Amino acid sequence: MSKKSESKVIKPPYTFKTTWEELMDHQDFLKVFLSDVLEKYIVGQRWYGGKSSKLKYIELAEQFRIQQSGEIYYGLILEVNFYEAFFQHYFLPIAFVTDEAYAEKGRILELSLGEKKGYIVDAVNLEAFRRVVFQRIQSAVPFDTTKVQYHKSDKLELEEYQSSRFMGMEQSNTSIIINDKYVIKFFRRIYATKNPDYELSRFLSEKKEFANTPAYMGSMSVKDMENINITIALMQCLVPNQGDAWEYMLDELHKVFSNLEYKHININRLPQADMFTRLSIRDVPPEIIDWAGLNLFQKLQKLGLRTAEMHVNLGAEFEDMAFTPTHYNGDYEVWLKNRMLHQFQNRLNMVENNLHKLEGLALELAQEFLERKNEIRKRFVDFDWTRLKGERIRIHGDYHLGQVLVKDDDFYILDFEGEPESTIRDRKVKQPPLKDVAGMFRSFHYAIYATIFNHEEDYPLTREQLFKAGEILYRYMIAVFSDTYIDLVRAKNLSIGYLGERTYVLKYCLLEKAVYELGYEMNSRPLWAVIPLEGIMSILDETD
C-alpha cells in the first residue's frame, strides 16, 4: 500500500469487520496502518535510521506469516520513502493481543477486529513470539522451499524453550537472549540480499570453525517476490563476558593516565616511537612499561592475534567465490575513489556549515581541515592500485573496540554487518584487511581521548599535556598490536604487502576512517570532532 488515498477517511477508534487471520488482506486497514499509524510509530524507534531525513510515505513491500500450530504473527517488510528521493526497508513483526498487559511495550495501534477489542504490537516484545521463532529454528529442515525459511546448525541440539529477555539497550537491531544460552538478533534495517553479519558469522563459525566469534546456531530468512533470500534473524551462542573491549580499554587507560601523577611521570622525558613501527613487548622502553603497565600491552598482543586469525580465516577460502581472495584492480580503484570523494565532500560541507559549534583546538583543527582540503582530496585521488601486490578479502568492515567482547583474558569478535553508512553492496566489496586494522587503531585513538575527556578533572595536568601523553601512548599501542598481527598473517601466507605497501594502505585507510568519523561527531557531539580531526592531521603530517 502506498500514498494516502483520497477515498473515505477512517478515524479512530478503529474498527474493522475482519479477523486477525485475514487482516493483512483488508485494504481499509492497510491504508490506515501504513499512513496514519506506522509513520508516527517507526520514527520514534531506536532502530529507525531515517531520523535525519523527511519521511514521505510507507509502502508494504512484503508480508508473510510467522506461525506455529495456532499461533499466527505477521512479518512486514516496510519500504520507507523519503522526500530526498531514496528509500529504506525495515522489518517489523506484528501481533494482535487482547490483554492490555501484553501491550505495555511495543504498542502500535488500538483497534477492534469484529467483536474483539485489542492491540497491534511489535511482536518482538512478546515472549510467545520469541518462543515460536526459537522453536521454528530448532525444527528447521534442510532445503526448505517455503517463503519463510528457517535454518539450523548441525551443532544446535533440541531443547525446551525456557525463557527469553532483551539483551541490553536496543540499537539498530533487536537482540533477544534465549534460555541464557543463545542470542537471536532480529535485523530491523533490511536489505534485498543475505545480511553480511549472517554471511560472515556462519562462514567463520561453520566453515572455518573460528572459535573467537559467537558460534552460528541458525537463522531465519524470507524469499521476496524476486526469489531473493532476505535475512531476517540470526541465532548464535551467547558468549558469557565481562563487557566489550571499549569499556575495558577505558578502564585500563584511566589507570594509565592516573599513573602520570602517581608515578611522577615526566611526559617530556618519555621516549617516543615512530608511527607504524613494530615492537614486541620486550622492545618497548622500560619507561613506557613502567607508566602504562605490562597488562595493557599483553592484551593488545592478544587482540592483534585474534584479529589476524579472523583475517587468515576470511582469506583462506578457494571454493566459495564470495570469500575467495582477490587482488587490486582498476575497477576497485574507481569504486574506492568515487566513494571517498563523495564522502569527503559530504564532510567538507558538514564542517563548513557547523564551524560555529566548535571551539578551542577543535575549531583550530577544523579550520586547518578546510584549508588543507585539496591536500586531503589529492590523497584519496592518488590511490594507485598498480603499486599494490597484496590481497583483498571480505573483512569485518566496522571493526572497533565496541565490536569485541572481553571474556577472561581473551577476545571474541562479533557484529559483521559493516559500516552503517555504506550500501549493502559496498559492505560486500573485498577490501584490504588493513582497513579493519586501521579501524581498530582509530578506536585506540578514540579510547585515549575519551578517557581524557571523561576524567580530565581527575588528572592534575593540562589538556595539552594529556594529549601529548596520549599521542605517545597511541604509537606504542599500535606498534605492539601490529607486531603480533603481522607475524601471524605472514606466517599463514595472507598477503598484506611489504613494509612500504603496508604503510601506504594503512595511511589511506586511517585517513578514510577518520574522515568517516568526522561526520558522526559533527552531527552528534561537535566538541569531540577534535578526535577525528587530530587523526586526519597526524596522517597528513606523517612523513613517508
Q: pLDDT tens digits, residue range 215-246?
A: 999 999 998 888 889 999 999 999 999 999 99
pLDDT at position 523: 85
Residue 260 Cα distances to 255, 263, 292, 376, 389, angstroms? 9, 6, 9, 35, 43
Q: What are phi and psi of 234, to 5 degrees?
A: -130, 130
The residue extents of the domains of the chain are 14-123, 128-237
Tell me the average pLDDT of the chain.
Answer: 93
E strands, 336-495, are 391-392, 404-407, 410-413
E strands, 19-138, are 55-68, 71-82, 87-97, 107-113, 116-122
pLDDT at position 272: 95
Q: How many CB atoms lie within 10 A of CB 380?
A: 18
> Considering the chain, what percentage of its residues have pLDDT values greater than 90?
85
Residue 374 has pLDDT above 70, yes or no: yes
Q: How many helices (H) and strands (E) does the chain have?
A: 15, 17
pLDDT at position 543: 61
Confidence of residue 35 (pLDDT cuts 50, 70, 90): confident
Is 241 in contact with 412 (CB distance < 8 Å)? yes
Confidence of residue 171 (pLDDT cuts 50, 70, 90): confident
Which residues neighbour 200 within 8 Å (Cβ) at sequence distance 6 or greater?
A: 314, 394, 396, 416
Which residues are bridge partners to 15 per DSSP?
A: 112
pLDDT at position 146: 86
pLDDT digits (tens, 9 = 90+) for 199-219: 999 999 999 999 999 999 999
**Cα–Cα distance for residue pair 80/61, rounded to 1 Å:** 9
User: 528: alpha, beta or left, given left = phi > 0 and alpha = psi -120 to 50?
Assistant: alpha
Residue 534 Cα distances to 312, 366, 369, 462, 482, angstroms? 32, 9, 10, 17, 21
- When pLDDT is averaged across residues 414-440 and rounded to a whole number, the result is 95
Confidence of residue 89 (pLDDT cuts 50, 70, 90): very high
E strands, 123-210, are 148-152, 164-166, 173-178, 182-187, 189-190
pLDDT at position 50: 86
Residue 13 has pLDDT above 90, yes or no: no
Counted residue by residue, the chain has a size of: 544
Q: What is the CATH number of domain 128-237?
A: 3.30.200
Q: Outline where 204-329 has alpha helix (H).
A: 245-262, 286-292, 294-314
Residue 532 has pLDDT above 90, yes or no: yes
pTM value surpassing 0.85: yes
Q: Would you give the distance in Å from CA 249 to the centre of its chain?
A: 19
pLDDT at position 9: 61
pLDDT at position 5: 43
Which residues are bridge partners to 150 per DSSP?
A: 220
Residue 1 has pLDDT above 80, yes or no: no
Which residues are bridge partners to 235 per DSSP?
A: 184, 218
Residue 4 has pLDDT above 80, yes or no: no
pLDDT digits (tens, 9 = 90+) for 279-318: 999 999 999 999 999 999 999 999 999 999 999 999 999 8
Please name the residue that has the C-alpha cell 569485518. Answer: 396
pLDDT at position 169: 65
- Sign of CA pseudo-dihedral 52, 53, 58, 60: negative
Instruction: Supply the angle between the helices 463-491 and 294-314 in degrees, to the nearest 10.
Output: 40
Residue 73 Cα distances to 60, 454, 461, angstroms? 16, 45, 59
Among 372, 366, 364, which residue's Cα sits nearest to residue 350? 366
pLDDT at position 8: 59
3-state helix, strand, coil in the chain (%, to 5): 50, 20, 35
Please name the residue that has the C-alpha cell 525444527. Answer: 139
Confidence of residue 392 (pLDDT cuts 50, 70, 90): very high
pLDDT digits (tens, 9 = 90+) for 398-408: 999 999 999 99
